[in-house]
Amino acid sequence: MAASRIAVAGASGLIGSALVRSLADDGHEVARLVRRPPESPDEVRWDPERGEVDTDALAGCEAVVNLAGAGIADRPWTRERKAVLRDSRVRGTDALARAAATLEPRPRVFLNGSAIGYYGDTGDLAVDEGAPAGEGFLASLCVDWEAAAAPAAEAGIRTAYARTGLVVSKAGGAWGRLFPIFRSGLGGRLGSGRQYWSFVSLHDEVAALRHLLDHDDLSGPFNITAPEPLTNREITAAVGRVMGKPTVLAVPAPVLRALLGEVSREVVGSVRVLPTRLLEAGFHFSYPGIEEAILAALREG
């Protein structure tokens, strides 16, 4: 994509901030959506809970990227927390998609966040974008999250969904909490360790999003995960090798359930996801292996 104006919601998050840096480095003008009054020309006011977006400030955007949403594993899934997780994604996506549909000229692409939680617990079965949605709260959330982008697609805007895996980064997310534990020598497998973790380096996550933005023939769902998902036991051993730390400790599943409640299902559940459509679209991973991804994360500034 030639240098253009791109709107990004969720620009302060782990993935959003990395994407904004990448776009700015390549000369794109980034309009960051914020919930407070704008403090600079590159900020656009929106209120996702109320469905309000300053469409005038979005004028001229070639692309709209929506990565906004409350943290999935930040706290236990109480009824109130589930409502926050759903509203922050579904209402925000609907508001932004409707705003994009009203713009003239319309953006060329609406890129919406999603997650591999869409597939539920797949056990040892490898799945790609052709698989149906799974069961459980997160799968249901992802279905509704993606469906909320319909106003953009119905307006003729190319719409793609980035079903992201576990992003390997020391800057945040699940891995941001794991690295300090392993560095202290207290890391180990979670539950049985046989559950599959579909991971992706932060570098490849951003590169994949850029790939989806740049190619006008790409729409629909895309799994953003490394080509070969590994079990938690295999990943734990890899972290130990790279960091030179023991990984003999383990956290039993009952303890995880006691500590995390329903969130523990996502920790000990198995999601073996393949990025079939992304590979078919010509994307090349810079860090396809777990040790490469871990080393890349440790080099992050």
d(CA 230, CA 264): 19
Give bridge partners of residue 189 from the DSSP assignment. Answer: 250
Residue in 262, 221, 204 with CA at minimum distance from that of residue 85: 262
Distances in Å between the Cα of 74 and the Cα atoms of 77, 174, 221, 265 are 9, 9, 26, 14
* Residue 276 near residue 90, CB atoms below 8 Å: no
* Residue 213 near residue 162, CB atoms below 8 Å: no
pLDDT per residue, tens digit, the chain (301 aa), is 777 999 999 999 999 999 999 999 999 999 999 999 999 999 999 999 889 999 999 999 999 999 999 988 777 888 999 999 999 999 999 999 999 999 999 999 999 999 999 999 999 999 999 999 999 999 999 999 999 999 999 999 999 999 999 999 999 888 888 888 888 887 888 888 899 999 999 999 999 999 999 999 999 999 999 999 999 999 999 999 999 988 877 766 565 555 555 555 665 689 999 999 999 999 999 999 999 999 999 999 6
* Residue 112 near residue 162, CB atoms below 8 Å: yes
d(CA 29, CA 1): 12
Which pLDDT score is estimated for 254? 66
d(CA 187, CA 154): 47
For the packed helices 137-147 and 79-102, what is the interaxial angle rounded to 10 degrees? 20
- Give the angle subtended at the CA of 48 by the CAs of 62 and 278, to the nearest 5°: 50
Q: What is the enclosing helix (H) or strand (E) of 222? A: strand 220-224
What structural domains and CATH numbers belong to the chain? 5-298 (3.40.50.720)
Which pLDDT score is estimated for 264? 54
Record the tokens describing residue 237, joined without a space.
């051993």
